[in-house]
């Protein structure tokens, strides 16, 4: 539906019947930058823009408020329908995410860029910013500044971003098509959550309660009592570290995944936020796929989170990596650890 990078500004790859001509205009032609400050801290609801979850309440994302309500008068007021650019880069958002606020009025850190489309019916651009067609412009007009994990781009350059523009009719058809797919995905996710709940119930019966030697539910003809072993007797345990962030060479041109506690998802890890360079890898242990990870400390309720690598990776110092000494199924370990988080 979107335009190819080679032919942007000419014609999209797919068209709806009776489609008109497309043109390229600047973002400032379509939207206004919002700089309304939260004077006298009138609005108390603090929002953040996550690469994976979009605009979300800060308290929900971090499990607690991380900004004092006495220090928010300099934050930008964001209305429902406004778009927010977070310059923090990650694996899933290599130039930072742009998300539409669908939660209602709130406030955003002045580190973010907030803009509002002149035509409020902007569902098309919500989907456009979920693509990567605008990434090259940001890369070419910005730098990483003093921090390697943030894009630095001026407001003028950001608002000059080239945007595809056509009749509202075709844009609405594209938005409706993609939104219908989002709704289908949401329905499937509800089914997934129901399965997770069912699994949680089974876990209560398939593992023995503390102090007992047999689970409530047995599979097949198994009837033997379970035995207890200390974790260190059957697993080698390693810990990683954080490469020196003051040396940008440790994170530029990453070649190896580097796992943090915020990447742990209590199941198989299929993606993570950051990677490290070959230089940084020399000081870390490369862990194979199948390694089970446990968060040993960290803020925002990270302690006890688990994950299992599906690809080779390294970790920071807050994670213990468990490598079995004997032939032990890593899925069994991570399932049992999730059962015993408390």
* pLDDT for res 32: 95
Burial class (CB in 10 A: 0-12, 13-18, 19+), 264: buried
Q: Is residue 264 part of a domain?
A: yes
Other CB atoms within 10 A of residue 205 CB: 12
CA–CA distance, 337 with 226 (Å, rounded to integer): 16
Segment 121-133 shows an average pLDDT of 89
* pLDDT for res 1: 45
Answer with the residue of higher pLDDT: 340 or 181: 181
Angle between helices 168-206 and 330-339 (to 10 degrees): 90
Q: Is residue 270 part of a domain?
A: yes
Q: Which residues of 137-146 are buried (b: 16+ CB within 10 A; e: fewer)?
A: bbeeebeeee
* pLDDT for res 65: 57
Tokens of 51: 């690469």
Which residue segment(s) compose the domain that 55 sits in? 23-166
Query: 154 and 38 in one domain?
Result: yes
Segment 166-190 shows an average pLDDT of 90
Q: Is residue 186 part of a domain?
A: no
**Mode of pairing for the β-strands spanning 23-26 and 162-165:** antiparallel
Query: 162 and 258 in one domain?
Result: no
Query: Looking at residue 265, which CATH number applies to its domain?
Result: 3.90.220.20
Question: What spatial distance separates the first Cα and last Cα of the chain, rounded to whole Å?
Answer: 48
CA–CA distance, 115 with 161 (Å, rounded to integer): 12
Tokens of 271: 């993606």
Sign of CA dihedral 208, 209, 214, 218: negative
Reported as a single tens digit per residue, the pLDDT across 77-96 is: 999 999 999 998 887 888 99
Contact 105, 77 (CB under 8 A): yes
pTM exceeding 0.75:
no
Contact 323, 239 (CB under 8 A): no
Query: 158 and 277 in one domain?
Result: no
pLDDT at 112 over 90: yes
pLDDT at 160 over 70: yes
Domain boundary among 166, 189, 214: 166
Q: Which of 323, 287, 293, 289 is nearest to 306 (CA)?
A: 293
Query: 257 and 160 in one domain?
Result: no
Least confident of 3-7, 249-253, 269-273: 3-7
* pLDDT for res 19: 62
Q: What values do phi and psi take at 228, rounded to 5?
A: -105, 135
Confidence of residue 129 (pLDDT cuts 50, 70, 90): very high
Segment 149-153 shows an average pLDDT of 86
Q: Which residues pair with 3 in a beta bridge?
A: 12
Q: What values do phi and psi take at 22, rounded to 5?
A: -100, 155
pLDDT at 164 over 80: yes
* pLDDT for res 69: 61
Least confident of 97-111, 172-186, 287-301: 287-301
Query: 239 and 142 in one domain?
Result: no
pLDDT at 18 over 70: no
* pLDDT for res 302: 79
Least confident of 14-23, 181-190, 201-210: 14-23
Q: Is residue 185 part of a domain?
A: no
Mean of per-residue pLDDT scores for the chain: 86
Confidence of residue 275 (pLDDT cuts 50, 70, 90): very high
Domain boundary among 166, 194, 216: 166
> Per the structure, how many domains does the chain have?
2
pLDDT at 272 over 70: yes
* pLDDT for res 128: 94
Confidence of residue 281 (pLDDT cuts 50, 70, 90): very high
* pLDDT for res 49: 92
Segment 113-133 shows an average pLDDT of 89
* pLDDT for res 17: 64
The percentage of the chain sitting over the pLDDT mark of 90, rounded to a whole number, equals: 51
* pLDDT for res 169: 83
Query: 29 and 161 in one domain?
Result: yes
Q: What is the 3-state secondary structure (H, E, C) of the chain?
A: CCECCCCCCCCECCCCCCCCCCEEEEHHHHEEEECCECHHHCCCCEEEEECCCEEEEHHHHHCCCCCCCCCCCCCEEECCCCEEECCECCCCCCCCCEEECCCCCEEECCCCEEEEECCCCCHHHHHHCCCCCCHHHHHHCCECCCCCCECECCHHHHHCCEEEECCHHHHHHHHHHHHHHHHHHHHHHHHHHHHHHHHHHHHHHHCCCCCCCCCCCCCCCCCCCCCCCCHHHHEEEEECCCCCCCCHHHCCCCCEEEECHHHCCCCEECCCCEEECHHHHCCCCCECCCCEEEECCCCCCCCCCEEEECCCEEECCCEEEEEECCCCCHHHHHHHHHHCCC
* pLDDT for res 257: 95
Task: Compute CA distances 16 → 1, 9, 31, 167, 183, whole Å.
Answer: 9, 17, 25, 12, 21
Domain boundary among 138, 166, 194: 166
């Amino acid at each position: 539906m979107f335009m190819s990078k080679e032919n942007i500004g000419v014609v999209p790859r797919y068209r709806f019947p009776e489609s008109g001509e497309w043109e390229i205009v600047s973002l400032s032609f379509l939207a206004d930058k919002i700089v309304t400050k939260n004077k006298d801290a009138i609005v108390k609801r603090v929002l953040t823009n996550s690469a994976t979850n979009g605009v979300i309440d800060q308290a929900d994302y971090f499990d607690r408020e991380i900004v004092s309500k006495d220090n928010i008068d300099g934050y930008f007021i964001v209305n429902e329908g406004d778009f927010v650019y977070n310059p923090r880069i990650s694996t899933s958002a290599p130039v930072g995410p742009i998300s539409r606020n669908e939660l209602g009025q709130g406030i955003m850190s002045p580190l973010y860029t907030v803009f509002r489309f002149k035509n409020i019916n902007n569902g098309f651009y919500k989907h456009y910013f979920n693509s990567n067609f605008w990434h090259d412009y940001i890369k070419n007009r910005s730098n990483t500044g003093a921090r390697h994990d943030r894009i630095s781009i001026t407001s003028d350059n950001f608002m000059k971003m080239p945007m595809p523009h056509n009749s509202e009719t075709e844009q609405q058809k594209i938005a409706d098509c993609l939104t219908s797919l989002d709704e289908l995905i949401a329905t499937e996710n509800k089914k997934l959550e129901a399965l997770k709940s069912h699994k949680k119930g089974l876990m209560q019966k398939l593992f023995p309660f503390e102090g007992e030697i047999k689970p409530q539910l047995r599979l097949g003809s198994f009837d033997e009592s379970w035995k207890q072993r200390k974790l260190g007797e059957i697993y080698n345990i390693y810990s990683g570290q954080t490469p020196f962030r003051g040396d940008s060479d440790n994170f530029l041109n990453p070649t190896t995944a580097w796992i943090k506690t915020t990447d742990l998802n209590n199941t198989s890890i299929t993606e993570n936020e950051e990677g490290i360079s070959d230089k940084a890898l020399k000081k870390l242990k490369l862990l194979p796929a199948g390694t089970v990870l446990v968060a040993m400390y960290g803020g925002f309720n990270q302690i006890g989170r688990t994950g299992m690598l599906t690809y080779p990776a390294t970790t920071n110092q807050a994670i213990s990596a468990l490598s079995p000494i004997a032939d032990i199924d890593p899925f069994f370990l991570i399932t049992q650890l999730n059962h015993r988080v408390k």
